[in-house]
């Protein structure tokens, strides 16, 4: 009798733990479903930021594939929407087909997130090292005169947009000019916006932007790529937790009854 009572006690304890584990998995999956749904907006922001950055400075980054991490982030954002809906739906009422579909979507998302994170890290290191030589070339090739012509070259656009001057500072323009003739000015795009009458005169250095463009460009690039990288890492962890929760719930569903896995459905 003692053995029978012990067996019944262990069985009841096991059932109790299984019920608690199932309840925890359902609650966690419901919570993660809402989180994954909300993070789609975060991914859209990161993807659009990267794409627009490389589009706005396309004369600095000639390779069109550099915006690929942004496009992968947008793709994962689109997949996150149905994934979040499925996670919440499964936490309320389990469905064999839904559970299988959710697992496929989570695997797809993990592939997208890891690819985007790896590319973002690689491109961040690669492009940061190319910026200084590219900016130096643009400054060296720029032909400017001390006139009221605002200039519309690539380097002028960068200096106005970022409120910067030269690669490191305004002295880069003096190094880029002819050694026999030093113009008494720098391009007007070096002027700060608050000085509307500035003409790039070196006699009024206080009217010029005191920061170089290289540092600002590198900061923008580093922020955009690190944003994508860490978003992908955090989302990958959340997706692994969602897959684990879904797997716990799938333990109570026989795999041979998962119609979505049948070969005739493909």
* Unique residue bearing structure tokens 């600002």: 216
- Which residues make Cβ contacts (< 8 Å) with residue 37, sequence separation at least 6? 80, 81, 84, 85, 88
Spatial distance between the Cα atoms of 102 and 243, rounded to a whole number of angstroms: 8
- Residue 19 in this model has a pLDDT that exceeds 90: no
Is pLDDT of 14 > 50? no
Determine contact, residues 231/42, Cβ cutoff 8 Å: yes
pLDDT digits (tens, 9 = 90+) for 86-115: 888 887 776 778 888 888 999 999 999 999
C-alpha to C-alpha distance for 43 and 75, rounded to whole angstroms:
9
What's the pLDDT tens digit per position in 178-210? 555 566 778 888 888 777 777 777 777 888 888
Mean pLDDT of 74-81: 92
Cα radius of gyration (the chain)? 29
pLDDT tens digit string along 152-174?
677 888 888 888 888 888 888 87
Distances (CA, A) of 207 to 182, 200, 202: 19, 8, 9
- Give the pLDDT score at 147: 63
User: Confidence class of residue 22 from pLDDT cuts 50, 70 and 90?
Assistant: confident
Q: What is the mean pLDDT of the chain?
A: 78
Residue showing tokens 């500035």? 198
Sign of the CA dihedral with 92 first, then 94, 95, and 99 last: positive
pLDDT of residue 254: 52
Q: How far apart are CA 231 and CA 233, in angstroms?
A: 6
pLDDT of amino acid 15: 47
Can you give the pLDDT at residue 178? 56
In angstroms, the first-to-last Cα distance of the chain is 54
Give the C-alpha separation, 143 to 214, whole Å.
20
Confidence of residue 253 (pLDDT cuts 50, 70, 90): low
Spatial contact of 166 and 172, defined as CB atoms under 8 Å apart: yes
235-239 mean pLDDT:
91
Average pLDDT over residues 59-69: 79
pLDDT at position 266, please? 42
Instruction: Give 10's pLDDT tier (boundaries 50, 70, 90).
Output: very low
CA–CA separation, 50 vs 114, rounded Å? Answer: 17
Mean pLDDT of 249-257: 59
Residue bearing the bigger pLDDT, 47 or 95 = 47
- The per-residue pLDDT for 7 is 43
Q: Choose the most confident range, by mean pLDDT, from 8-12, 133-137, 174-178.
A: 133-137
Please indicate whether residue 149 or residue 222 has the higher confidence score (pLDDT).
222
pLDDT of residue 165: 87
Residue 191 DSSP SS3: strand
Q: State the pLDDT confidence band at 60, using cuts at 50, 70 and 90.
A: confident
């Amino acid at each position: 009798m003692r053995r029978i009572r012990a067996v019944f006690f262990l069985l009841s304890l096991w059932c109790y733990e299984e019920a608690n584990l199932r309840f925890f998995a359902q609650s966690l999956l419901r919570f993660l479903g809402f989180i994954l749904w909300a993070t789609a907006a975060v991914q859209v922001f990161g993807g659009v930021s990267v794409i627009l950055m490389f589009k706005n400075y396309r004369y600095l980054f000639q390779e069109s594939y550099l915006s690929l991490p942004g496009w992968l982030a947008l793709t994962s954002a689109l997949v996150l929407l149905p994934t979040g809906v499925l996670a919440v739906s499964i936490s309320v009422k389990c469905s064999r087909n839904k559970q299988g579909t959710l697992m496929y979507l989570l695997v797809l998302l993990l592939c997208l997130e890891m690819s985007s994170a790896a590319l973002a890290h690689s491109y961040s290191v690669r492009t940061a090292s190319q910026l200084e030589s590219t900016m130096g070339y643009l400054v060296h090739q720029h032909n400017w005169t001390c006139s009221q012509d605002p200039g519309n070259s690539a380097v002028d656009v960068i200096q106005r947009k970022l409120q910067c001057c030269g690669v490191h500072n305004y002295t880069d323009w003096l190094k880029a000019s002819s050694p026999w003739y030093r113009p008494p000015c720098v391009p007007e795009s070096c002027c700060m916006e608050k000085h509307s009458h500035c003409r790039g005169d070196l006699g009024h250095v206080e009217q010029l932007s005191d920061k170089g463009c290289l540092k600002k460009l590198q900061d923008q690039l580093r922020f955009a790529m690190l944003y994508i990288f860490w978003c992908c890492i955090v989302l990958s962890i959340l997706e692994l937790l969602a897959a684990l929760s879904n797997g716990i719930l799938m333990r109570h569903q026989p795999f041979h009854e998962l119609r979505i896995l049948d070969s005739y459905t493909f």
